[in-house]
Chain A
């Protein structure tokens, strides 16, 4: 099967090169035969790469340890679930996964895009083919072939890193990959629009769902990554401003900016240059993220093993960036706006400031991520840029963005009048002020937490107000019951009200982030029967009594488990267990360093987070770290609300009137009649 895998990789590469050439020439010369061939090339490449994936999965499930990748990432006793996910656990497999999913998305885009956009499709096929061929070329020429064989066959493989043996890690990487990869489709349409000079609203309509899909996958991937870091890594947090985390945040920020600014283009025919630049920038940032993860240029806990594939990505990034922006610059005269801004106090203006903040945050994250390299170049010394730096720079920007989340949707398009502003902002502003007063009276003094919660209350009030007004209008006009009116309001204008649900998710996330300002932790050494206490920010006292340590064998690990009895203010809450796990292969040999399994007790207000650090002198006297993390559950809940809102926005259907209003202009090119 590995011979087949390598063969189909070569086949996919050659088809990709052909698809790229055929698409570009076919589009340029308007030759239907080449256009068809380019389209079929993407389908054929997809088929070939699916065969390659099947071959690698076959080798994984057959425990063919003569294949270097299989020996490096699996063992005979690895659960099936994780044997499957080993496909993207390593550099080589993830490159195969990436290129395959790209061609699947490309095929779907070509098959599902309506025929009225057919002039764009040859170029879309060309871009998808070229990008996929690049990824396959990295596998073939960058010593990253997942089918590479060893000169000997080990009895068992190394097994999967214990920290990757978590359900979060099964779903988090593919979700992020899907987000990164699917950005290629809007980018391909943007390039197709530039190449074909069809710069009207058509390409925007064609990519709307793809952009949302990509944003949704990235959002879910980032949230799952946070959850995995929290439950698996044992440091009691979910975001560490690691370069690889930052790399996933960068395209998310630019995509979110695009999703806002594209509304201005759809409604007013403005910001065409800006929107194209955002799409190109988002895609380049996704490739930049891949470069950072795989090159080892910046040290990160997430990085794959350093190898020469980083040079491939750097080269591709430079070539693709130069080509994209050169083409973009050559088409600038065709991208004139249809309308101009009429007032500083308008939704267009607020969205522009919102874009400024999104791009500003993206820039500051990128700046902080690259600053160690810059410092080394300028000062000759490499500095560390960790969470203190990022928090200092980004928290104020994030709060300003949160404020605009509430302000933007309340301001009217084109021009807002004073009565309009009074009517829209009275209740939300009063709610925010009331929230800050309550918090001050309750004794909260952390500045950023206060501002975050007050702004959260303000934004939430704007959302509730919008839903209430819409439902009341339907109730009055159609005599619908309140629940029905609310349901229909959402169903008839999914984009607007789904967007408000996304904003609600963001509010929940910001408030939950503010909760971490009140995190408390302590370490304790306990003999069986001894207790430790920890005070929660809510004033409760947790008492944790060490019950003892047990040791037993599980499927692929040797477990040392410490059990604690937990009570709060004298009321017993239950038992909490935290473990040390020594993973072994099928021959009983230790495979990795012992890892920690955290014990977590969650409720809506706070998490009790217990880590078994180790034992003293080989006895049951154990060292624990106890942490109280307020509002963590709301991070996951906010992520879910965000995802649900995103799904509502992109769900097909909706009222024809709403659709018309969303794609209701047609731009004439300069000089076009």
Chain B
């Protein structure tokens, strides 16, 4: 075999003899005994038998329970979208439990919602129960009463008031401008009648950028 010098100074062989190849194969067989190769169980095939066990379940995150009908219940979801998860994620319970699968808080809150619903409580009663237990901050939007009304209506009211003021100011300006307006006089040296100038103004208006 012909030695070749590598950049790091170690010598390696570029070609392999038959004897070397057999020795390497023997070494490989010793390192991987046949029983280790056959010990693996076959994967489960689609639609056949029970689900196969994962090699390392911990990689797949927190173990989950199968989905129930309540998990997909639109009424339950609608309630959960109004309640904030208390894990600190700033999301509603539904979004958190269907997004952050490491969170243990939102599934617990979901179970609480389902339990209250199974006891026959209405959506409003369930939400009130959460507010009673956790305070008003549990709601994704503040209730429309008291000072919170300012939260909802101050922007709109201000915009409307500003819009009215703006409209009044614009009207005053435009009236003042109209009052000050005099009939257009032809420029000295420009042979154009008032009619022609008016036509020009209309054309410019049409082409204005």
Binding site for B on A (CB under 8 A): 233-236, 240, 242, 299-301, 340-344, 347, 349, 352-353, 356-357, 360, 363-364, 367-368, 371, 374-375, 378-379, 381-389, 392-393, 397, 412-417, 420, 423, 493, 496, 521-525, 527-530, 545-549, 551, 558-560, 580, 582, 593-594, 596, 611-621, 623, 625, 658, 661
Report whether B142 and A389 are in contact in the complex, using a CB–CB cutoff of 8 Å: yes
User: Which partner residue on chain B sits nearest A362 by CB separation?
Assistant: B155
- The smallest beta-carbon distance between A629 and chain B, in angstroms, is 14
Q: Which of A344, A363, A383, A416 has the most CB of B within 10 A?
A: A383
Report whether A661 and B147 are in contact in the complex, using a CB–CB cutoff of 8 Å: no
Report whether A301 and B59 are in contact in the complex, using a CB–CB cutoff of 8 Å: no
Residues of A near B152 (CB, < 8 A) are 389, 392-393
Report whether B208 and A412 are in contact in the complex, using a CB–CB cutoff of 8 Å: yes
* Bound Cα distance from A412 to B204, whole angstroms: 9
Report whether B98 and A356 are in contact in the complex, using a CB–CB cutoff of 8 Å: no
Q: Which of A387, A393, A596 contacts B156 (CB 8 A)?
A: A393
Q: Which of A340, A363, A415, A528 contacts B47 (CB 8 A)?
A: A528
Residues of A near B208 (CB, < 8 A) are 347, 412-413
Q: How many of chain B's residues touch chain A, expressed as a range? A: 35 or more
**Which 8 pairs between the two chains have the least Cβ-Cβ distance?**
A529-B47, A618-B57, A364-B155, A529-B46, A386-B140, A360-B159, A619-B51, A383-B142
Residues of A near B59 (CB, < 8 A) are 551, 558-560, 580, 582, 594
* Bound Cα distance from A42 to B204, whole angstroms: 47
Q: Which of A349, A374, A385 contacts B141 (CB 8 A)?
A: A385
- Give 29 CB contacts A-B under 8 Å: A242-B90, A299-B90, A360-B158, A363-B155, A371-B151, A381-B137, A383-B137, A383-B148, A384-B137, A385-B142, A386-B84, A397-B159, A412-B206, A420-B206, A528-B44, A528-B51, A529-B46, A530-B47, A547-B46, A551-B56, A560-B61, A593-B102, A594-B59, A613-B64, A613-B98, A613-B101, A616-B51, A623-B64, A658-B209
Task: Decide if B138 is an interface residue (CB 8 Å cutoff).
Answer: yes
* Bound Cα distance from A409 to B99, whole angstroms: 43
Report whether A234 and B99 are in contact in the complex, using a CB–CB cutoff of 8 Å: yes
User: Which partner residue on chain B sits nearest A372 by CB separation?
Assistant: B137
Q: Quick one: given A301-B89, A381-B137, are A341 and B151 in contact (CB under 8 Å)?
A: no
Report whether A299 and B88 are in contact in the complex, using a CB–CB cutoff of 8 Å: yes
Task: Decide if B62 is an interface residue (CB 8 Å cutoff).
Answer: yes
Q: Quick one: given A342-B174, A375-B147, are A614 and B44 in contact (CB under 8 Å)?
A: no
Q: Quick one: given A378-B147, A523-B71, A619-B52, are A344 and B63 in contact (CB under 8 Å)?
A: no
* Bound Cα distance from A331 to B159, whole angstroms: 27
* Bound Cα distance from A233 to B101, whole angstroms: 11
Q: Quick one: given A389-B142, A547-B46, A623-B67, are A560 and B205 in contact (CB under 8 Å)?
A: no
Residues of A near B88 (CB, < 8 A) are 299
Q: Which of B95, B141, B147, B174 contacts A341 (CB 8 A)?
A: B174
| Interface contacts beyond A340-B173, A594-B59, A623-B67: sample of 9 additional A-B pairs, CB < 8 Å, sorted by A | A233-B99, A299-B88, A341-B177, A382-B137, A383-B151, A386-B92, A528-B44, A560-B60, A614-B63
